[in-house]
Amino acid sequence: MALRTPIYLDHHATTPIDPGVLSFLQEVQRDHFGNPASSGHAFGWAAARLVEEAREKVAGLIGGTAREIIFTSGATESDNLGLLGAARIYGGDGGHMVTTNLEHEAVRGPLEEFERRGGRVTVVQALPEGRVAAGDIAAAMEKDTILVSVMMAQNEIGTIQPVAEIGRICKQRGVLFHTDAAQAVGRIPVDVQRVGVDLLSLSSHKIYGPKGVGALYVRRRDPRVTLAPLHFGGGQERGLRPGTLNVPGIAAFGEACRLAGEVMADEAPRLRALRDRMWDTLKGSLDGVHLNGTIEERLPGNLNVSFEGIRAHQLLSALTVIAVSSSSACSSLETRPSAILTAIGVGDDLAAASLRIGLGRFTSGEEVDFASARIVAAVSGLRTPGQSSS
């Protein structure tokens, strides 16, 4: 069978919906259109049952209980609810929080709002390997620290943070621990009990489910975490997320979690082998190739690579048959280096010359070899005056 292009290698941005999840979604959309809040008839009962079954599936993937799962529109809303909801209860919008310079905008934004409301935030700097030191998190805590937020896996460079160690420190200090685990859940084992996390954000579309749905894990025991709602107008989701529930999306999200739990043990080593194969090809075929972040503590399908002597937007233009992304943000005709790469000490030139490659469930070895060859050819062409590659 001929290789189909374009090839999708941007699974950290989003994932295609799994065929089994899509089939389940369509069935629910067609046959179970009731409102789960309609408690007086069978259509409402069926919808409510699907929501509770999904809650069990999501909880099962992360080691929580169904009553600890609050459904949201995605990890961004979950981050906002967890951080700002905790700030109102535990600090009266004041107090102190600790985070890192590796966080996604979905965490940085709420923390900036927390500061505007009178709170204080300490940002811990990451090490050059792309990970934070748990000791640095501990050193940043103050007497009035109410919460620490450290992402479980970095969305650009794929580095996995020492969250279990950070969780132990938070528990010892009586400080809440939040983690944005959108990139980690479904890719690596996640256990909220082992990590000691109190609040965890996750998203459906990162694990082969539909867009527009996610969840926030809220610990109920040791300690029982209380949050203030950000929205008002209904009693859904224990009053923390009012509004009619997205039953098809929630049900499909649950099914995506169930499926991830089944396939992850086999999927992760396969993706790790393909990733290492691609990295070996790139560094063996090109000079001036740099891996950003440690290779050891890293998501199995992630590569973030910088190429000396080029700009990422030029390389992306030369790779029209491969869907990858750049770590640099483009504004007009100028490029701004990735804040994450500069945060770990990568120079501006290399930070503006990086590709984020994300392999996924349906990525084949043939696709990896094809993409590797195209990247090598494109980089070589861009480095050679008067030549171009596609």
Report the catalytic residues: 330
Other beta carbons within 10 Å of 238: 11
Q: Which of 207, 333, 334, 338 is nearest to 263 (CA)?
A: 207
Secondary structure (DSSP) of 132-167? --HHHHHHH--TTEEEEE--SB-TTT-BBP-HHHHH
Q: Which of 279, 302, 273 is nearest to 206 (CA)?
A: 302
Interior/surface letters 302-315, b for 16+ CB within 10 angstroms, e for the rest? bbbbbbeebbbbbb
Report d(CA 153, CA 304) in Å as an integer.
Answer: 13
**Which single residue is written with the structure tokens 């503590």?**
297
In the chain, how many H helices and how many E strands? 12, 15
DSSP state of 297: S
Report d(CA 385, CA 257) in Å as an integer.
Answer: 49
Given the DSSP bridges, would you call strands 354-358 and 302-307 parallel, antiparallel or unpaired?
antiparallel
CB 178 within 8 A of CB 195: no
DSSP state of 230: S
